[in-house]
Amino acid sequence: MGCYPARIWARAGSLDYTTVVLIHGFAWHGGIFQHMSPFAEQYNARLIFVNRRDYPDSDPYDTDDHKLLVPSGEDTARNIRTFMDQRAVELVDFLELLVEDLKLPRAKGSSGGIVLVGWSCSGVFITAVLAYLQTMPHKCHSLRKYLRRAVLYDVPYHVLGYSPPSVSYHPMTDPKLSAPERLQAFAAWVSGYFNHGRAGTSLELKQPLLDPQPTILSMSDVEQQSCLHLGPGAPGGSDLMLMTEGARHGVFALLKADALYLKPGIVDETPVDDAKLKPNDDLVEKELEVVYLWCDQSVWEMPWGARALQSELGEARKLRKPTRSIKIKQMRWANHFAHWDQPERVLRALLTDSDLV
């Protein structure tokens, strides 16, 4: 993992700032978050934009990594899970390195610590990390003092392992478009504003609103070049293979289950405020909060995913299946690129405990 060049500081001299680590989505790198930078000081936040492997300023995947993504019959599911387990270890190591090298403030209540955010398809990197924290808690003891919130930010349904509606559309599978046309069409489609009806009760599959126009159409060529990187989403690219095979073989559904459902005997990962501990108390930690933040004018994949997650959590409560503390927060009048069009609002939503965003 590498960092987009900007590491944006909070208030000068602050000892309790929150570090917000943001991971970009499909075909857009960390530069897509740049409009949030001017608000870091106001919200006492340090912003770190992570570029995943195969994106600028980060190491490319090596041959062995790519082999895990190539369809290989009955071994495909196991290979994709191995690939994601490796990415979880990388991300945990990266966060621990940030804590050590940058001397980050520990989490205390609603300040300090780390808020880890995965936008769009990078939600699978968040579920991979959450699953890893449960299966290997002894390797994450130091990080647990810092990580206080994980955010699945406008994550599409398939990244959580859900099935699509009976009728759907995606430009990447549009037979009327060539491969290069699909990538360009995808960028315009995914950055549109869609009228899905009240609270997403209906779905507009293909046609975005004319006003507001799709975010990419408001970008200059220079702005697009500062954050768009199509290679991993092209045929044979790592992101396209991961998204296709991970969903097809049920790996994303398994990662979600391992991430969100608590396993017997595993302590929670969220740090407690040390001031509330008695000197001889054992360290009994609260549960790591997970937030699913969705934008109600995003492309249909996001409201469909929010609806599916709400339904699943409701069923889990009925069956008394233990889950993490999961909060679903809706951003009204926002699209999939809210961090570009409404950056202050998004930063506030990532940091606040309130449901009103």
Query: What does the pLDDT look like over 256-298, one tens digit per residue?
Result: 999 999 987 554 444 444 444 343 333 334 568 999 999 999 9
- Say whether pLDDT at 199 is over 60: no
Q: How far apart are the first and last CA of the chain?
A: 30
List CB contacts of 306: < 8 A, sequence separation 6 or more: 200, 292, 294, 328, 330
What local confidence, expressed as pLDDT, does residue 136 receive?
A: 80
What local confidence, expressed as pLDDT, does residue 197 receive?
A: 74
- Say whether pLDDT at 225 is over 90: yes
What rounded mean pLDDT belongs to the chain?
A: 89
Question: What element of type H or E holds 102?
Answer: helix 76-102
Q: Is residue 356 part of a domain?
A: no
pLDDT band at 144 (very low <50, low <70, confident <90, very high): confident
- Sheet architecture: strand order including 18-23: 2-8, 45-51, 18-23, 114-119, 147-153, 289-295, 325-331
Does residue 305 contact residue 267 with C-beta atoms inside 8 Å? no
Identify any residues that bridge with 295 across adjacent strands, giving them in sequence order.
331
What local confidence, expressed as pLDDT, does residue 274 receive?
A: 46
Radius of gyration of the chain (CA): 20
Q: Is residue 275 part of a domain?
A: no
CA distance 45 to 351: 9
Q: Taking residues 91-113, report their average pLDDT.
A: 93
**Angle 236-238-243 (CA atoms, 0-180°, nearest 5)?**
100
- Is the backbone peptide bond immediately before 156 cis, with ω within 30 degrees of 0? no
Measuring CA to CA, which residue among 45, 2, 132 is closest to residue 343? 45
% the chain with pLDDT above 90: 75
Place of tokens 């495909």: 76
Q: Is residue 274 part of a domain?
A: no
Domain count of the fold of the chain: 1
Q: pLDDT tens-digit profile of 33-78?
A: 999 999 999 999 999 999 999 999 999 999 999 999 999 999 999 9
Q: Is residue 29 part of a domain?
A: yes
Q: Is residue 226 part of a domain?
A: yes
CA distance 47 to 19: 6
Q: pLDDT tens-digit profile of 309-327?
A: 999 999 999 999 999 999 9
Q: Is residue 189 part of a domain?
A: yes
Q: Is residue 52 part of a domain?
A: yes
- We report the CATH number of the domain holding residue 183 as 3.40.50.1820
Helix, coil or strand: residue 263: coil
Q: Is the pTM of this model over 0.95?
A: no
What local confidence, expressed as pLDDT, does residue 184 receive?
A: 80
Q: Is residue 357 part of a domain?
A: no
Instruction: Supply the range of the domain harboring residue 72.
Output: 2-267+281-351
Q: How many CA atoms lie within 13 A of 171 on its CB side?
A: 22
